[in-house]
Amino acid sequence: MAEFEAIDSDQNVLQKHVAFFDRNNDGVIYPWETFQGFRAIGSGILLSSVAAIFINVGLSGKTRPGKKFPNLLFPIHIKNINMAKHGSDSGVYDTNGRFVPSKFEEIFHKYAHTNSDALTADELDKFIKGNREPKDYAGWIGGLSEWKILYSLAKDKNGLLKKETVRSVYDGSLFEKMAEEKTNSSKKKNM
Ligand code: HEM
Ligand SMILES: [Ca+2]
């Protein structure tokens, strides 16, 4: 909880999305912190390692404006995280990393037909494809991995991705909740 309180309330929502992964709260996310964050929410070693490499190698440079040479420790600077945005996204984060409620509602208006407050696996696929801008291959991969990982980690027992789950990934509170649940379930196992 102390960790959460340390988050500046002026932080934009995209900064909150990633702050969970800044394990020591110094404003910079190193690959080993991304790895630890993925492990803390219950991901396996393989996904956590691949994600840490791709995310940090992919985003580090974009968050270090004006720096000519890559820092080989691949730090991600949270204050510039909005510069790591890619194309073919939902537009729920604006270019400054703020949350745009109308864009969030639009996802469910357009794609949630089976249930108004959740996406089925098929509806999620249509939504991901619907976001694609022509020839924006890097954006396609970015969007596909974000949404598929979210679905695999956070769908409910009926295979639905609930609206409230999607809402809580945007401000990162989903990660806090998953980490708490993981700690509680491993405590129970050891009792
Ligand atoms: C399990 C972990 C994670 C999941 C499930 C996840 C999921 C998502 C989702 C669903 C979006 C919204 C995309 C959209 O609106 O179309 C998003 C956006 C984003 N995420 Fe994550 N994320 C995770 C971890 C991370 C980490 C560790 C970082 C970087 C340190 C990161 C950086 C971003 C950025 C920069 C965006 C904005 C992309 C854009 O709007 O163009 N995410 N993520
Ligand atoms: Ca850190």
Distance 21 CA to ligand 2 centre (A): 8
147 lines ligand 1 (CB under 6 A): yes
Looking at the fold, whether 105 and 161 belong to one and the same domain comes out as: yes
Structural domains counted in the chain:
2
Using CA positions, which residue lies closest to atom 29 of ligand 1? Answer: 18
CA 184 to ligand 1 center in whole angstroms: 25
* Ligand lying closest to the C-alpha of residue 141: 1
**Atom 36 (ligand 1): residue with closest C-alpha?**
85
52, containing H or E segment: helix 45-59
Q: Let me know whether 130 and 155 are in one domain.
A: yes
Q: Tell whether 47 and 76 lie within a shared domain.
A: yes
Residue nearest to atom 8 of ligand 1 (CA): 146
Residue 27 in tokens: 């404003």
Predicted TM-score (pTM) of this structure: 0.93
What is the Cα–Cα distance from 127 to 8, expressed in whole angstroms?
Answer: 32
Residue 176 lies in a domain: yes
**Ramachandran area for residue 172 (φ above 0: left; ψ -120 to 50: alpha; else beta):** left
15: Cβ below 6 Å to ligand 1?
Answer: no
Judged by its nearest atom, the ligand closest to the C-alpha of residue 13 is: 1
Does a structural domain hold residue 75? yes
Using CA atoms, how far apart are residues 38 and 78, in angstroms rounded to an integer? 17
Q: What is the pLDDT along the chain (191 residues), one digit of tens a residue?
A: 444 444 444 469 999 999 999 999 999 999 999 999 999 999 999 999 999 999 999 999 999 999 999 999 999 999 999 999 999 999 999 999 999 999 999 999 999 999 999 999 999 999 999 999 999 999 999 999 999 999 999 999 999 999 999 999 999 999 999 999 999 998 887 77
Q: Is 93 in the pocket of ligand 1 (CB under 6 A)?
A: yes
Query: Are 36 and 96 members of one domain?
Result: no
* Domain with 53 in it: 1-84
Domain assignment present for residue 188? The answer is no
Using the Cα atoms of residue 191, residue 36, residue 99 and residue 153 in order, give the sign of their dihedral: negative
Does 128 fall in a domain?
yes
ipTM over 0.90 threshold: yes
